[in-house]
Chains A and B, each alone.
Chain A
Amino acid sequence: MTKEETKLFIDEDNDDMDVSMPQISNINIDSTHESMYQESLNEQGLDDSDTDLELEEEDPIIESIPLFINSIGEEERESQSIHLLQYSSKPKSIPQTINHVGAAVKPESNFIKVKIPLDTNKFYDNSKTEEWGVAVNEHEHMGVLNKTNGGLYAAKYVIKDGEKQVHLIPIDSTAQLRPSFKYLDDIENSKMLQRKESFDQSAKPQSVHVLQSTAKNTKTSNNDPFVSTALGESLKHVRRFDQEEWSNVTWEDDENLEKFTESTTKLQTKTTMDDYINQLTH
């Protein structure tokens, strides 16, 4: 997405509040991905209402450009989805294109992981490498995939046959990617493990007792109605996350968005403004 395209939605020139470096990526997922795309009138009406509301104010129409909505084909749907990835820690000064080493998702937990090579030339502390005994040369970025409930689109502005066109592709989810310093955790975990092992060896006979007491504990069921005996909701999520395997995905960059700009039917709204507002509020 270039800057020009963003302008379509927000008519302020230097408006980049939305995302610092938006990048649309099309990901082919190995495993099946739940299809959540629906071509509902709801989304179409959205753009419509925006323009209508603006009409009420002193905001004249300068030009109307036809909208085309695109979708990933039904067959491709199985293996493809479009996501908006935001690299929240990447400053503007770094060029847009990012070389990816690999990406993986946990579709059940809605989690995405992207590996990015680390620039070891600049600001790289080689002494730490020796200290830790691990050479860190790639950086993991992780983020939760927030399902968009429709209404979020990637747009492309093209001039086709001398006609201006805007093509929209619905986005499945957005994710803000943050670096995770897994190598630090790994080091700590391994240290902990070592410590535990040495501790366990020294205190082995006691562990038998512990087992017995826990067995007792589980038996005494309580009648307090205000305590749930099961794990909390969030811990269930954690467990599910830990149990789920990473499934690798292939990566397609936004250059390939061309592929989608094929739809030829002009978008026309069937919902009236009133209907739409009623739909929203009731």
Chain B
Amino acid sequence: MVNKRKASQITREGMVTDEAFQPLLQETYKGKKLTDQINTAEDKWNLLPAFLKVKGLVKQHLDSFNYFVDTDLKKIIKANELVLSDVDPEFYLKYLDIRVGHKSSNVQSNKPVPKEVNLVPHHCRLRDLTYSAPIYVDVEYTRGRKIIVHRDLEIGRMPIMLRSNKCLLDGIDDKQMASYDECPLDPGGYFIVNGTEKVILVQEQLSKNRIIVEADEKKNIVQASVTSSTHERKSKTYVITKNEKIYLKHNSISEDIPIVIILKAAGIISDLEILQLVCGDDSNYQDLFAINFEEAAKLEIFTQQQALHYVGKRVKTIRRAGAPKLSQLQEGIEAIATTIIAHITVADLQFREKALYIAMMTRRVLMTMHNPKMVDDRDYVGNKRLELAGQLMSLLFEDLFKKFNSDFKANIDKILKKPSRVSEFDALLSINIHSNNITMGMNRAISTGNWSLKRFKMERAGVTHVLSRLSYISALGMMTRISSQFEKSRKVSGPRALQPSQFGMLCTSDTPEGEACGLVKNLALMTHITTDDEEDPIRKLCFVLGCEDILEVDSATLHSKGNFGIYLNGTLIGTTRFPAKFVSDFRNLRRTGKVSAFISIYTNTHQAAVHIATDGGRICRPLIIVDKDNKSKVKAKHLAKLMQGNWAFDDFLQHGLVEYLDVNEENDSLIAIYEKDLIDPSKTNITHLEIEPFTVLGAVAGLIPYPHHNQSPRNTYQCAMGKQAIGAIAYNQFRRIDTLLYLMVYPQQPMVKTKTIELIDYDKLPAGQNATVAVMSYSGYDIEDALVLNKASIDRGFGRCQVLRKNTVTLKRYPNHSKDVLSGIRVDDNDHPIPPHASLGIDGLGEVGTKLVNGQVYVNKSVPVNAGESVLNKTEPNQSTESMRETPAYYKGAEPAYVDQVMMSVSDNDQALIKVLLRQTRRPELGDKFSSRHGQKGVCGIIVQQEDLPFNDDGISPDIIMNPHGFPSRMTVGKMIELISGKAGVLNGSLEYGTCFGGSDLEEMSEVLVKNGFNYSGKDMLYSGITGECLQAYIFFGPIYYQKLKHMVLDKMHARARGPRAVLTRQPTEGRSRDGGLRLGEMERDCVIAYGASQLLLERLMISSDAFEVDICNKCGLMGYNTWCTTCNSSENVIKMTIPYAAKLLFQELISMNIAPRLKLGDVF
């Protein structure tokens, strides 16, 4: 009990800044005295804040972007370093180095590198600019005979991810943050492009360069496929079965090639060796495989050359202009060497690695044919890779850079081709001409979200999204979101299902409902996504650790029993006979920090393989290492160091107490959830200990108190609703000018918190209020989850929110030198401003703080009348400049608004940019939507005077009355416990915890209630506010945290008697924004028909809609006009009648197609 209390008092955790150091100097730190005993089982959770301190919630984005600008860019430059001329063989230009955001001269060893960005991020937001930094390259090129090295050549500007290491905000303290108008709690990880905040969502993909074996049992097909991905190309190679025979399939080969022929083409000529490589000495596999030899023998292919001819003949040649024509043999070699399984490179004509890879794929197919259980699971998280901002940017940049170079090459070729050049040609002069390409390309891709890569012929839309700033949590939720590449319409359940392997990696609760259910996921709290690591050192290390080089391993013994293959990123590099020792040696090296912590290694006994992964995009998470004696390696002394601030998370990593495991390696270990599980004598081979079990949930699901007591869908509903709650957005929320901003006027931190809430600083930027709730029925206006609100509470500010809306006006300049201007106020005879201009200042802009009602002007803009006129035929210059047309910006809205901010600035192209922020303050009204944190939403059904509401002994009346029918079917027990804990907290003066799998104990809470003279169950005796009598039942009564959701009646209410009509059809317009009509739809029409209310139907569908009087000639049946039939040239038989305008339109359209619709009219009566 005592310990629990202490844990709960551990209050919010400081930031990475100097202020965070202050609590250390106090006598008590985080509720503990230095002399207090440390309980490892309880306090090991402190590793989590330590982890978040170094890793943060959006660290995956930042890591990825940092890797891209620091490492990946250099690799791209290296791969495309030379620009040569076709004309002049002497000429070359070589890229030596690339840097983003600083010049070479600015690098000094001891000083931090200055960051060269265009502006402070917030100014970019306000001024609709892109937050970017210059990209500098060092080049070496020839000018005449000389070789010139030019440093710091700017080739474009790179959008900078906020809080990345190139960002101004990296590593500064809160004070500086405030001086930049930036919120210290803002996670960063997004870009600012043209003033909008854009997030590149994490994309989920199947892992590259790995073999995936799948089986279709109905069709009796087994296939092994591998998606090869290199810088140059992406291609997929299949090894499939067809009628029990095995073939290799590839897009660039017109027909499936028998596997034996492919292997022969790859240099494994003898049938014996093929059998050895594919089957080993397993007679089952040999029997299954034998049939394949017959096919090759039938085709009389025995040698490599014959096989290459066979393959080359079937290669689909995409002949590109300029490429030399290849012979059949060359085509075959080219196919084997570069096209098939492209990620394995062939050097020195050493095809063995490639042959082994194909053989291995074949072997996997054979294994699956023999035992169908050997298939791989596509949905297994270990087979997935997450693509982050950095990787996507790198793909884009390489494409743009290649384009840049080829443009440059074309440019210099054009100049060099000229036979007589006056001066020496300087290549740099032409490199600057098109330097806008890279900048524009990056900007466009990020702002539209269309990733088009010419190299891979890839077009991907919807990669970026506007960062949702509805609330702090919605922005945070967006940063941890993972979108899948699967089509939403496909009706397969596999990809949507909850995978056991996502435990601890992806949040189990946070997924949207509906079509994207299970396809959009969220990261769990304590995850890390790897970036690419170098393969070569690892390969060398493997050889030292006793791996035998695959090139020296004999085919006959490759698959002998006890021989384990060692696979580095899916490619066989060697074998070992001692896999256990190899793996443990490797892990030891990793734990001592000699190898990167994010490299995973695990054994797969089914495949007799040791897999090592160094590639990027794997999800991993830290776990405490448990030693051989089942003791946690993290001891009290270590935690003491952590809590005193002497150790950070990385120290735990370096001392081998904690390590990162990815999903595959997790499968190779036994993880205890609690420290008490370690004592269990039946479990002897525990390898790891969970840091905190509540990290299975993500940031958004972490807000829910006692989620482990709720029915699981309720938690999922809350995850969706938590993002719609109105609250505080950021510390700089009043400086922001966003298109639409919702702010809560008096947000409160929840009284029942969770540890997650503290970790993600939700308590500093909350979205909701602690309402006193009575669970009872009242007034009948509370059916269907409707809530009864207390009017006095609303008066006191409960649920009050502000809505800020941005209105942008640009003052354009026109080619004829005229431009838009602001005109002043127009006044009436008494020198008073005319009513529409009442809130304008003399500058023609709305004055800050003034009220705007419907139809009033807030920017009085005027446009020149003849702006389109060209400069040339301008006859009267005076007239053209003076004649202006007023085009003021009106305020439109039923409720008045107030001018909150007016900003005037200059945008990119020298045009004045005016942003006017209009504010509305709203109090809750009937129909506004509220929700607790348990997926229990409801609208306000009635607002009741406080005196009519029930009250308890202390005279407290509820803020909200909730109908008890909300509980039985929803089974949100967590909400009840939240009420009890909250009530106990109020009585106790403490904030209670509802952390998942933990939190304040219900029994303890009940004790507190009893101690304070309340019923243990949280039920109180209430008195009716109307009669003053005691209510017949005890009422469940206490505080519950309620969120106000963004759906408000004011934004939705809509009615129309008459109003605007569409031009074409003369029917009422559609939609609230256009003051549209309310549609009597098809199904409603059916009802009216079925009921037989034909006059109603006539009225709804025609008279109230698009009734139109036409003149119809009863003789020819066509339409005339003015009682005159043009076809018959008479007015004899013309009859007036009313038809829908749409029908008239149809007739005319039919006539235009040479179809004559003739109406035959008859008398009804």
Using a CB–CB cutoff of 8 Å, the interface residues on chain A facing chain B are: 10, 12, 15-20, 46, 49-50, 53, 57, 84, 86, 88-89, 109-111, 144, 146, 151-152, 174, 176, 178-182, 184-185, 188, 214, 217-218, 220-227, 229, 231-235, 237-238, 241, 277-278, 280-282
Contact = CB atoms under 8 A, between A and B. Distances in A.
Contacts of B338: 232-234
A159 to B, nearest CB: 28
Contact of B546 (A50, A57, A234): A50
A234 B556 contact: no
Nearest to A152: B552
A220 B537 contact: no
Interface string B314-334: 000000111111100010011
A144 B269 contact: no
Given A223-B406, A277-B594, 4 more contacts: A19-B554, A88-B554, A144-B352, A238-B330
Contacts of A220: 321-322
B323 A227 contact: yes
Nearest to A178: B269
Contact of A146 (B273, B302, B543, B552): B552
Contacts of B325: 214, 217
Contacts of B543: 151
Given A17-B577, A49-B544, A224-B320, A89 B272 contact: yes
A109 B349 CA distance: 8
A174 B304 CA distance: 22
Contacts of A18: 548, 552-554, 557
Interface in B294-324: 302-306, 320-324
Nearest to A110: B348
B286 interface: no
Interface in B523-553: 537, 540-541, 543-546, 548-549, 551-553
A109 B348 CA distance: 6
B321 A84 contact: no
B885 interface: no
B297 to A, nearest CB: 13
29 contacts: A17-B560, A18-B553, A86-B554, A89-B270, A89-B272, A109-B349, A146-B549, A174-B551, A176-B552, A180-B303, A181-B303, A182-B303, A185-B303, A217-B325, A220-B322, A221-B86, A221-B322, A223-B406, A224-B320, A227-B323, A232-B338, A233-B345, A233-B346, A234-B338, A238-B333, A277-B594, A281-B541, A281-B589, A282-B537
Contacts of A46: 544
A281 B533 CA distance: 12
A238 B557 contact: no
Interface string B251-279: 00000000000000001111011000000
Interface in B331-365: 333-334, 337-338, 345-350, 352
Interface string B558-573: 0010010000000000
B302 A184 contact: yes
A84 B552 contact: yes
B654 to A, nearest CB: 14
B813 interface: no
Contacts of A188: 305-306
A17 B405 contact: no
B395 to A, nearest CB: 13
A260 to B, nearest CB: 21
Q: Which of A16, A17, A109, A218 is most buried by chain B, counting CB atoms within 10 A of its CB?
A: A17
Nearest to A214: B325
Contacts of B548: 17-18
Contacts of B374: none
B594 A278 contact: yes
A57 B578 CA distance: 13
Interface residues of B, number: 63
A234 B337 contact: yes
B555 interface: yes
A232 B326 CA distance: 11
B575 interface: yes
Nearest to A49: B544
A152 B555 CA distance: 19
B772 to A, nearest CB: 61
Contacts of B330: 235, 238
Contact of B348 (A17, A57, A144, A179): A144
Given A179-B270, A184-B303, A221-B86, A57 B320 contact: no
Nearest 8 pairs of A and B residues by beta carbon: A225-B406, A234-B337, A17-B557, A281-B594, A144-B350, A185-B305, A225-B402, A181-B303
Contacts of A232: 334, 337-338
B175 interface: no
B552 A174 contact: yes
Contact of B405 (A19, A225, A238): A225
Contacts of A185: 303, 305-306
A214 B552 CA distance: 45
Nearest to B351: A144
B455 interface: yes
B517 to A, nearest CB: 39
Contact of A217 (B322, B557, B577, B595): B322
A237 to B, nearest CB: 5
A154 B548 CA distance: 15
A196 B221 CA distance: 42
B410 interface: yes
A50 B272 CA distance: 35
B563 A184 contact: no
Contacts of B321: 217, 220-222
A146 B353 CA distance: 12
A188 B269 CA distance: 17
A26 B504 CA distance: 58
Given A185-B306, A221-B86, A224-B320, A235 B334 contact: yes
Nearest to A223: B410
B581 interface: yes
Q: Which of B306, B348, B541, B577 is most buried by chain A, counting CB atoms within 10 A of its CB?
A: B348
Given A234-B333, A234-B338, A16 B349 contact: no
B882 interface: no
A17 B563 contact: yes
Nearest to B276: A88
B454 interface: yes
Given A146-B350, A176-B352, A19 B402 contact: no
B403 interface: yes
A235 B537 contact: no
Contacts of A86: 552, 554
Nearest to B402: A225
A222 B323 CA distance: 9
A222 B318 CA distance: 14
Interface string B275-291: 00000000000000000
B869 interface: no
Interface in B576-591: 577, 581, 585, 589
A179 B320 CA distance: 37
Given A109-B348, A227-B320, A281 B595 contact: yes
Contacts of A282: 537
Contact of B557 (A20, A152, A221): A20
Contacts of B556: 20, 88
Nearest to A17: B557
Nearest to A18: B548
Nearest to B309: A188
B160 to A, nearest CB: 26
Contacts of B86: 221
B280 to A, nearest CB: 12
A178 B334 contact: no
A53 B585 contact: yes
A53 B540 CA distance: 16
A217 B321 CA distance: 7
Contacts of A221: 86, 321-322
Given A110-B348, A111-B349, A281 B537 contact: yes
A20 B337 contact: no
A151 to B, nearest CB: 7
